Chain A
């Protein structure tokens, strides 16, 4: 039996930064959207989780739910009609037999004109870095880490996956995209956003019998904006690997594996069931990576980026 909890999409972090009113508006608008533009159920559940966390836990919540469950069993379950109680027309209203694993439908966000608000809220309201006397690239975030040794071996880069992608045509950030993606993967979807000081591409890769891979690339013109980035993590220690262009951070959140690579004014983030070596290879094929790695230890930094534990 499948379960939406087994998948996670880094695109969801934009919802964390949206205001409650924006999220409410999104949910209401979704019910009036044509099905092709509707939010995926996973997205709806994620938004509901965000709203629920903000509202706070109801101490009576579980007790109430159990009372309603008892009512459901007593009053509703005896009706074995598969159609809705409110479906009085010819055919029964039934959901699809299978709900495909879908990407979050961010076209709804575009239609609502919230893209600019999402990005600006995401980065404009988070904690500012303590920059007094400290170089922007040298901002430090401290957490316990583990050290390890890594040696890179692998095939050369291939940028063929970028060829023919209409969504990338004419975009400056195209030059920052990784040239190499794991074997067997192909582009499933590309979404791009452009603001005055920032460009973003969110790319979904999929392959036959392969777990879905998500890559997000943010290119900043304004470095001050970049320093407001925040990524949520759980209590597991963050692992780091330094590349010549920057540092890769591996962390987990809610049981899912993530990585971030920051190279000057570009921040890459990936999510998916891939090894750290594979993630490193992707990052190394970007403009900032140079196919060498070094042993990493001690206190580490990700200039301009903060990580906090839930």
Chain B
């Protein structure tokens, strides 16, 4: 059976069953469950050769979905923790260097677009598809933005020692202060 044909056949056969299964693992959240299934079939498409070579294609898909559900749970929990920690950290206006060597100004996190993105993802339970559509970007672009937001804000948090003071002084900050 051709790739397209098999993809469509299995999708139509398994979609509702798999959404029901995913919803049970994601506390009844149907939007997340649907995204889990959509991403599962996306991975099936990307890894078609591997899946098609499997002695049990449907089993391969079920196992992929299981992994997806666990990924969703784990990632959301971690992001929720990160956001909660950031929210509890006093914010200061300062300047530091990020991993790309560019000066990044950390100001009011509440207005930071990356922070907002993570909040919507972690605390409002929005799917990657919803976040992408609300920002007018593609799903892969949204995933990249989420990853970048996580890295950036984690670095922000690591550089704060909890007291609102930057633990590592940047050159630019020292120059501006005339040190």
Contacts and interface: CB of A to CB of B under 8 A. Distances in A.
Does A pair with B?
Answer: yes
Interface of A: 1-5, 24, 27-28, 31, 38, 40-42, 44-45, 48-49, 51-52, 58, 61-62, 64-66, 68-69, 71-72, 75-82, 84-88, 93-101
A41 B63 contact: yes
Given A62-B12, A75-B139, A84-B71, A101 B25 contact: no
Contacts of A95: 60, 63-64, 67
Contacts of A86: 39, 68, 71-72, 74-76, 128
Interface of B: 1, 8, 11-12, 15-18, 20-21, 24-25, 34-35, 38-39, 41-43, 45-47, 50, 52-64, 66-72, 74-76, 128-129, 132, 138-140, 143, 146-147, 150
B25 A31 contact: yes
B38 A71 contact: yes
A97 B57 CA distance: 10
B140 A84 contact: no
Nearest to B150: A88
Given A31-B69, A41-B59, 9 more contacts: A4-B56, A28-B24, A45-B58, A69-B12, A76-B42, A76-B139, A86-B68, A99-B55, A100-B56
A31 B147 contact: no
B43 A82 contact: yes
Nearest to B35: A85
B150 A68 contact: no
Contacts of A42: 56, 58-59
A78 B140 CA distance: 8
B59 A40 contact: yes
Contacts of A69: 8, 11-12, 15
B155 to A, nearest CB: 15
Nearest to A51: B20
Nearest to B4: A73
Contact of B20 (A52, A65, A76): A52
A45 B74 CA distance: 24
Contact of A79 (B16, B25, B61, B139): B139
Contacts of A61: 16
Given A76-B41, A88-B146, A82 B71 contact: no
Contacts, number: 161
Nearest to A31: B25
17 contacts: A2-B57, A4-B58, A28-B25, A42-B56, A48-B18, A58-B16, A71-B38, A75-B132, A77-B42, A82-B43, A86-B76, A88-B147, A93-B68, A93-B71, A95-B64, A97-B54, A100-B56
A306 to B, nearest CB: 29
Q: Which of A3, A71, A80 has the most CB of B within 10 A?
A: A3
Contacts of A62: 12
Nearest to A65: B15
B38 A72 contact: yes
B62 A45 contact: yes
A44 B21 contact: yes
B56 A2 contact: yes
A38 B71 CA distance: 17
Contacts of A5: 58
The list of the 8 closest CB pairs from A to B, nearest first, reads A2-B55, A41-B59, A41-B62, A99-B59, A79-B140, A86-B71, A95-B63, A76-B42
A49 to B, nearest CB: 7
Contacts of A48: 17-18, 20-21
A162 B64 CA distance: 38
A294 to B, nearest CB: 42
Contact of A45 (B11, B17, B146): B17
B69 A79 contact: no
A45 B65 CA distance: 12
A98 B53 contact: yes
